[in-house]
């Protein structure tokens, strides 16, 4: 990402002490949770430039189209939570400016002479050089030095995010590792609890879809290791991880849970859609031909993340559904709620630990 070669407005320059900048760097890098890191970045920038507002969007490219989701909005050094629709979305002119910034890999300015303000667009790229976000700075007085400082802080933020991402990845498959799973499940339990508040809170959350957790376990994986060796077993794990990334959406979270087990966190408006998503994954994997070993099937256990009493209960529900699928023919999808409602299992049923394969 490149900055303009010359100042766009010298009046926008504001002297900032070295101590202030160092404190800002320390604040941005104090967190290891991505959501807190994003909020910290927005707050820090709005503290450095109190007359300006900052919006941080997550960017997803879908068939060459830009999809943007607001992750942080800061003004006067605080996160603003009560936002109108215009603040949460990108207008058509801003979408065009974002597309230009992504294509040109440069900072783009979008002045509004009538309002006397300028929107500055900073594209953000990950370690693979793929765009993952964009920062929008709304300022009455754009200045080159201020842009340089913002750009520098964004580079530090991106580099730190890359290091953080590496620490949260499984070394073999490059999926998220088990250590990060608890945090993500907890976030969804809390979000579900928030949606059951007062009526006005329910209306605000009406457009949000429900969260689901699936355990995906490779059938007869021990036979692959015994028949072809662990190197081929590892190859199956790696190829299955890539296949899962293609099957699920970019915003879904994929984890290697351990051994031949994977976890997927995804959103769906209801059980029917969630069921079809899992069935599509199972069928796609079953139809895929893996080098040397040929076809591989998976068993899937799933549950909705609701108001369970913690992370272990969510995983235990999915594990019971998976255990049932493994015991009753494999290569199938089972949902915990369906099994309970049908009387096929009860809440006292205990599943064997994850990773157990049956002959």
Top CATH class, 10-166 = alpha beta
By the 8 A CB rule, do 188 and 275 touch? no
3-state secondary structure at position 348: coil
**Ranges of CATH 3.30.450.40 domains, the chain:** 10-166
For position 306, what pLDDT does the model report? 94
Over residues 270-301, the pLDDT tens digits come to: 999 999 999 999 999 999 999 999 999 999 99
Q: What is the mean pLDDT of each run of 10 residues along the chain (359 residues)?
A: 46 58 79 85 90 90 78 90 82 91 92 90 87 92 86 89 87 91 90 64 53 97 94 96 94 93 96 97 97 96 94 96 96 97 80 44
**Ranges of CATH 3.30.70.270 domains, the chain:** 178-341
CA distance 256 to 177: 6
By the 8 A CB rule, do 336 and 328 touch? no
For position 14, what pLDDT does the model report? 47
Q: What is the CATH number of domain 178-341?
A: 3.30.70.270
Q: What tokens were used for 65?
A: 């189209």
Q: Which residues pair with 234 in a beta bridge?
A: none
Q: What tokens were used for 279?
A: 């069935």
CA distance 141 to 10: 9
For position 303, what pLDDT does the model report? 98
For position 7, what pLDDT does the model report? 42
CA distance 306 to 257: 21
**Cβ atoms within 10 Å of 103's Cβ, excluding its own:** 11
Phi and psi, residue 108, nearest 5°: -120, 135
Residue tagged 């070295």 (tokens): 18
Over residues 247-270, the pLDDT tens digits come to: 999 889 999 998 999 999 999 999
Q: Strands, DSSP E only, in 6-147?
A: 53-62, 65-75, 78-79, 108-112, 117-125, 131-139
């Amino acid at each position: 990402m490149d900055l303009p070669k010359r100042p766009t407005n010298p009046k926008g320059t504001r002297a900032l002490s070295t101590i202030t900048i160092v404190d800002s760097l320390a604040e941005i890098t104090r967190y290891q949770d991505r959501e807190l890191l994003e909020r910290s970045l927005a707050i820090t920038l709005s503290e450095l430039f109190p007359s300006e507002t900052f919006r941080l969007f997550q960017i997803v490219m879908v068939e060459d189209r830009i999809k943007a989701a607001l992750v942080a909005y800061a003004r006067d050094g605080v996160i603003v939570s009560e936002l109108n629709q215009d603040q949460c979305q990108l207008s058509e002119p801003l979408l065009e400016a974002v597309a230009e910034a992504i294509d040109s890999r440069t900072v783009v300015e979008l002045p509004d002479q009538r309002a006397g303000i300028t929107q500055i667009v900073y594209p953000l790229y990950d370690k693979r050089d793929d765009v993952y976000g964009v920062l929008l700075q709304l300022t009455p007085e754009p200045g080159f030095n201020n842009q340089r400082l913002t750009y520098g802080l964004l580079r530090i933020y991106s580099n730190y995010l890359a290091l953080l991402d590496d620490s949260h990845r499984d070394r073999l498959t490059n999926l998220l590792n088990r250590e990060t799973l608890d945090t993500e499940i907890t976030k969804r339990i809390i979000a579900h609890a928030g949606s059951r508040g007062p009526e006005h809170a329910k209306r605000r959350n009406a457009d949000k879809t429900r969260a689901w957790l699936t355990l995906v376990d490779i059938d007869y994986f021990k036979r692959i290791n015994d028949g072809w060796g662990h190197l081929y077993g590892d190859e199956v794990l790696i190829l299955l991880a890539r296949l899962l990334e293609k099957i699920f959406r970019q915003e879904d979270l994929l984890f290697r849970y351990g051994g031949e087990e994977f976890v997927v966190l995804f959103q769906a408006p209801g059980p029917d859609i969630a069921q079809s998503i899992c069935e599509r994954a199972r069928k796609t994997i079953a139809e895929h031909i893996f080098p040397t070993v040929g076809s591989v099937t998976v068993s899937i256990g799933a549950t909705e993340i609701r108001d369970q009493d913690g992370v272990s209960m969510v995983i235990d529900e999915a594990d019971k559904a998976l255990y049932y699928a493994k015991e009753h023919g494999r290569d199938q999808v089972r949902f915990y709620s369906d099994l309970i409602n049908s009387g096929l299992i009860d809440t006292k049923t205990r599943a064997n630990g994850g990773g157990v394969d049956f002959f």
